[in-house]
Amino acid sequence: MASAETHYTLPAPSFDKPVRLLIVVAPYYKDITDQLVAGAKAAAEGCGAEVEIVEVPGALEVPTAIAMSERLQKFDAYVALGCVIRGETTHYETVCNDSSRAISMLGLGGACIGNGILTVENRAQALARAEVAGQNKGGGAALAALHLLALSRKWARSTTGIGFRA
């Protein structure tokens, strides 16, 4: 049982330059995603990040919105939030796999993304994972994005001079 297990959590990152974080949420199960958003906002603001939130129709649109923002806006990191509960059709597998794959591809392309799209069997599992006082997967996703941003900034090449290398 997962509730009896203990897990190590990295300390929250700190930043010496401002951080702009975009939370993209698919509020299909609004009571659940409201908890995810609350956890993500609290974690991000605890690290001093400025947070903006946008809503999209469903989990499949979350990576598209992040990709659009990467091209058109100036955010440092992203949090993908939503909830997919297994139903009676194979649509569940499509939504889970395709949204996750697209988020992974964006991450491999350099975007700092924390994936907090819950993929669960039932509402009880979703609530346990979403609740801020519970597993707080929204907060975990925000911290994951911020940890990736911290690594990105740590490893960024400084650019000095113009043109040729000495």
3-state secondary structure 62-92: HHHHHHHHHHHCCCCEEEEEEEEECCCCCHH
Q: What is the pLDDT of residues 153-165, one digit of tens each?
A: 999 976 666 666 5
Q: Could you give the CA distance from residue 95 to residue 93 in angstroms, rounded to a whole number?
A: 6
- What domains appear along the chain, each with residue ranges and CATH number? 18-155 (3.40.50.960)
Q: Quick check: 1 and 104 in contact, CB under 8 A?
A: no
Q: What is the pLDDT of residues 3-43, one digit of tens each?
A: 678 889 999 999 999 999 999 999 999 999 999 999 999 99
pLDDT of residue 164: 62
Catalytically annotated residue among 30, 91, 101, 123 = 91
Shortest CA distance to 21 belongs to which of 152, 155, 149? 149
91 part of the active site = yes
Q: What is the pLDDT of residues 71-92, one digit of tens each?
A: 999 999 999 999 999 999 999 9
Placement of tokens 């190590």 in the chain? 8
Query: What token pair was written down for 64?
Result: 């598209």
Mean per-residue pLDDT, 131-147: 97
| CA quadruple 6, 82, 88, 124: dihedral sign | positive
